[in-house]
Amino acid sequence: MNGYNGLKVVIVYRKINFIILFLSFFLIIPATALGAGKVRVKHLTSITGNNEIGRFGLLGGVFFDENKKRLYFTDTTNSRILAFDDDFKYISEFTGGGALSSPTSIVKDSKGKFFVAEPAKGKILAIDIGKKSVKPIDFSAVSGANPVYAGNMAVDSEDHLYIVDKANQRILLFDSDLKFEREIPVEGSRRLMDVKVDKTGRIYALNTTDGSICVYNSKGKLLLRFGTRGAGEGEFDFPTSLAIDRKGLIYVTDQHKNKVFVFNNNGRFLFTFSQLGWKEGRLHRPSFIYINNSGRIFIVDRANTRISVFE
């Protein structure tokens, strides 16, 4: 072999090695290792439909019952609530004998009562499975320029219920007896999307249109506003949901960037995890996020028709 041919072999060999390295990085390395510089979040499993429970349709909200250690989420298309245990094994489904119609957000209070949003009907249903009772919450005491259009919900440690009213850009607060208590207007919001309450009583509201997150104290006083849409680091394209972990970190799903943004409790951007894809650990149009007390992260991976679980 002459020197010229030897050089060609070396160049081809290096190109092949580069291609192998490139493919290994993007196809083999878990998505949770990408973009963060350091692996902070790992993928545990994905919950998908099967022969026993049927295929999932469009998935809505997620809630984890810390007392019973059960995971619940709504299958909006099939008008049902699905229950899984702490090991992600299927337990049961609830349809209310046809009483549910396209359920989305779901929460549960300490007394075992479920609350399920049906935005198409403008209702929040209070469900007592033991008593086989399904009743809508009374909005008659709530005034406003527009009829209530119920969206995502949250429940705090005292069983107060927080409801996003998309039509009036506010959060409605009901006491543990389901009596309307007050509202928290989200100033400047044009597309209020989500609400969460942390263990200290702070209330978090997400506005999709401008990508802002408002943080209020338990009395409704604005403490912090941060976040924006854009192409820069830590900026959103289309944020859809938020959750707060036990350390006070704030997680936000972005449906268009197909990743999760993480901020500290002062609104400073820290890192992102996951990316667009259909393989385990990757996301396609994530629409909702919930974090339980043990730090498990449940994400409605909408276009992949599954619940992706991280920790």
pLDDT digits (tens, 9 = 90+) for 175-195: 999 999 999 999 888 899 999
Q: What is the average pLDDT score of the chain?
A: 90
pLDDT in tens, 130-164: 888 999 999 999 999 899 999 999 999 999 999 99
- Ordered by start, the domain boundaries in the chain are 30-310
Gyration radius of the chain's alpha carbons = 22
Output the CA torsion 224→225→226→230 (10° steps).
180
For 86-108, give one letter per residue: b (16+ CB within 10 A) or e.
eeeeeeeebebeebbebbbbbbb
Name which of 173, 84, 155, 167 is nearest 116 in CA terms: 155
CB-CB neighbours of 266 under 10 Å: 10
CATH code for the domain defined by 30-310 = 2.120.10.30
The DSSP secondary structure of 100-116, one letter per residue, reads --S---EEE-TTS-EEE
pLDDT means over runs of 10, the chain (311 residues): 44 43 40 49 97 97 97 98 97 93 97 95 92 93 93 97 96 98 92 97 97 97 97 97 97 98 98 96 98 98 98 96
